[in-house]
Amino acid sequence: MSQVDVAILAESASQPVPSEMGAEALYDKCMTLAHNLWWSWHPEVNNLFRDIDPIRWRQVDHNPIALLREFTPERLAVRASEMVLHSRVNYAYRRLQEYLTASNTWASTNAGVLGARPVAYFSAEFGIHESLPIYSGGLGVLSGDHIKSASGLGVPLVGIGLYYSHGYFKQQLDHDGYQREEYIETKVQNLPIEPALGPDGEPITVTIDTRDGRLLARVQLMRVGRVKLYLLDCNVEGNRPEDRELTSRLYGGDERTRIRQELVLGVGGVKALRALNITAGVFHLNEGHSAFGPLEAIRQRMKEDGMSFDNAVREVAQMTCFTTHTPVPAGHDRFDGPLVEEHLGPLRDQLGISYDQLMGLGRVNVNDNNEPFCMTVLGLKLSRKANAVSSLHGHISRRMWQPLWPERAEEQVPIGHITNGVHVPSWLAWQMSQLYDRHFPAGWMQKIGEPGIWQNIHNVDPGELWETHNALKNLLLAFVRRRVSRQCRRRGESDDIIEAARNLLDPNVLTIGFGRRFATYKRANLLFSDVDRIAAILNDKERPVQIIYAGKAHPKDEPGKRFIQQISNLRHDSAFKGRVAFIEDYDINVCRHFVQGVDVWLNNPRRPLEASGTSGQKAVLNGGLNCSILDGWWAEAFDGSNGFSIGNGSVHVDDRITDRRDAEGLYETLEQRVIPIYYDRDRDGLPRHWIKMMMNSISTSAWRFSSHRMVMDYTKHAYLEAAGGLSVKMD
């Protein structure tokens, strides 16, 4: 309980409980709101929880259940009268009920055939909100955005994932700027999850046999708007102690842990659907992690419909869509034969196939006994629809997997593309959404995946857009100062340093943001290739620049950790003091602050390794301008007027030469384009050309790189055909 609350409680103890709603009813409504993640993309509900206790709200990681559990119904009622929350609670509650029961959705007219046989969407991680640590980065946030848009569009879909009690690690940097990882157990009673119940009203546990014994997983349910997300959890009685830990960490552990997690996700997931009495019309495998799933579906078909293995494979593949996410070879899981046999052996027996046949399903060259079993190959072989996540990534994937279709030319390889997008209501700042409310037609939020409404940005007064952006930038800078001074205090640094952190960064200075995983191909340190040149750019007297960084390196990625160290230690360097900041523990919350407040979002991966990237799409919505290598989504978004390109898309066979050229390209773009345009002001102090570019960025890209557009594409180009309806060919 905060001090403020104690005071308020003492003051108002004698006041009667408000009459409009009983304390219990109010509390129940708040808890109902907190138990559906719908609240997380509705700023007015978010603000409602915050207003209950703003200080605790921040301390509990914006988790409304954790917050509410600190209150009794009576105390909450008192607080609600103080803050006049009753009508806001009622209004939010009513809207949620209306949302859950609405029948006039996009899908009701465009995807009726999915009807009672939903899409089962499998993903190893789901990034829905910072208070639910079951994601690590881009793939997870994409899955979260996918199911949120499926909910918004009314597409019948259930999510299948894993429940990680300790999630992904929390990042702290030590005195030397070296990354330390800590796994913290999430208090399950503070999470919006409940046991999933079968048709008989009993909690569900699925069993999976391996050659080495039986694995159990219980099924938890999380509500994300209209979508139900089922999470499998191995921490159950009946599992061996080491197996109870199996799903505790996301991407922790060795190969064996990994294949066991993937067995639970894929095979366990399909079994969970059966136990829930859900007949999926489509399986969507988001990345190869869940590709064992169709094998279990094949087994069910053979057993229940008396089909042959070959026929069952054909039937299941017909209803399966597979999305591949990376051109980085290490990003594709590969397992050795003995591990596969240990875990798939009992299932293989039931399928009536030999060891070689099973291994062949995961091999490009079926007869090569030295080739490990690759989950992506399995996914491609067991699906009739496959796609990459951007146009460029489509080309790369067709080349990469052409050997699987030796009789076909590269262009004929059946892997299409559906470019990733982001969930607009989750990433759009409230202030910016209010601006759009004033200038866009009523009901625009229902049409965020269509180009038309975003054209209205050109009617907005440039001064108003600029002012809104700068208000958000100030919020970002306040956030950075708060975080950096907290980091300094934790490391026990001197008062001078802590004081300096409080005054870090200048709102009048061009601010660049860089936040993402510190995988080496993303080249977080590219800007520092020529230290003197970047020092001159940042410290220019007339037109200075500042840059904020955040990102985690995978625990086993030593080079990535050294990048972090190099950048975070710049704060001790007099040439960069006050101009460069590193924020620890990049997550959805940090990302949201970054993409809502930066002037420029920087992305400089080694092309073509960024399959899509999505963080830059989040910046677009809020008026940030992208400055990026022509890779992933940006290669198709950039039109010369809506942001900045680095280089011209060419790469050299020698990475060192590519890196040198790209660094040069980056400096040139900054010096000749970004900085001059930003500081070119008219008599009112407005950067007219810059604001025009912000508008172009929003009008050309906000709809196109929204997850609403993405889910509509998946529905039209993949789900409908997989479900046996008509569909439009994917190009």
Q: Which residues make up the interface to ligand PLP (CB under 6 A)?
A: 137-138, 141, 516, 586-588, 591, 613-615, 618
> How far is Cα 549 from Cα 512, in angstroms, rounded to an integer?
9
Concatenated DSSP letters of 654-674: SHHHHHHHHHHHHHHHIIIII
Cβ 448 to ligand PLP shortest distance, Å: 17
Nearer to ligand PLP, 586 or 719 (CB): 586
> How far is Cα 716 from Cα 731, in angstroms, rounded to an integer?
12
Nearest to residue 44, comparing CAs of 98, 95, 105? 95
Cβ 138 to ligand PLP shortest distance, Å: 3
* Pair of tokens at residue 413: 């390889």
Q: What residue has token string 């066991």? A: 260
Cβ 137 to ligand PLP shortest distance, Å: 4
Cβ 665 to ligand PLP shortest distance, Å: 19
Cβ 227 to ligand PLP shortest distance, Å: 19
Cross-strand bridge partners of residue 547: 512, 580
> How far is Cα 167 from Cα 188, in angstroms, rounded to an integer?
12
Cβ 331 to ligand PLP shortest distance, Å: 13
> How far is Cα 54 from Cα 226, in angstroms, rounded to an integer?
28
- Tell me the HSE value of 220 on the side-chain side, using a 13 A CA sphere: 20
Nearest to residue 624, comparing CAs of 362, 339, 422? 422
Nearer to ligand PLP, 216 or 524 (CB): 524
Nearer to ligand PLP, 605 or 647 (CB): 605
Buried b (16+ CB within 10 A) or exposed e, 406-432: eeeeeeebbbbbbbbbbbbbbbbbebb
Cβ 263 to ligand PLP shortest distance, Å: 26
- Per DSSP, the three-state class of 517 is coil
Cβ 459 to ligand PLP shortest distance, Å: 29
Concatenated DSSP letters of 184-243: ----GGGSSEEE-B-TTSPBPEEEEEETTEEEEEEEEEEEETTEEEEEEE---TTS-HHH
Nearer to ligand PLP, 121 or 634 (CB): 634
Nearer to ligand PLP, 12 or 172 (CB): 172
Nearer to ligand PLP, 332 or 593 (CB): 593
Nearer to ligand PLP, 381 or 554 (CB): 554
Cβ 423 to ligand PLP shortest distance, Å: 10
Nearer to ligand PLP, 223 or 516 (CB): 516
Nearer to ligand PLP, 217 or 512 (CB): 512
> How far is Cα 212 from Cα 335, in angstroms, rounded to an integer?
17
Nearer to ligand PLP, 606 or 716 (CB): 606
The identity of residue 634, as a single letter, is W
* Pair of tokens at residue 383: 């699906």
Query: Which positions ≥6 away from 475 have C-beta within 8 Å?
Result: 593, 596, 597
Cβ 501 to ligand PLP shortest distance, Å: 23
Neighbours of 556 (CB within 10 A): 9
Nearer to ligand PLP, 196 or 229 (CB): 229
Cβ 618 to ligand PLP shortest distance, Å: 6
Cβ 32 to ligand PLP shortest distance, Å: 27
- Per DSSP, the three-state class of 697 is helix
- Could you give the angle at the alpha carbon of 726 between the alpha carbons of 447 and 395, nearest 5°? 75
Nearest to residue 257, comparing CAs of 164, 120, 172, 376? 164
Nearer to ligand PLP, 120 or 147 (CB): 147
> How far is Cα 228 from Cα 720, in angstroms, rounded to an integer?
20
Query: Which positions ≥6 away from 477 have C-beta within 8 Å?
Result: 504, 505, 507, 511, 597
Q: Where are the alpha helices (DSSP H) in 455-583?
A: 462-490, 495-502, 531-538, 558-568
- Per DSSP, the three-state class of 385 is strand
Nearer to ligand PLP, 360 or 613 (CB): 613
Cβ 146 to ligand PLP shortest distance, Å: 13
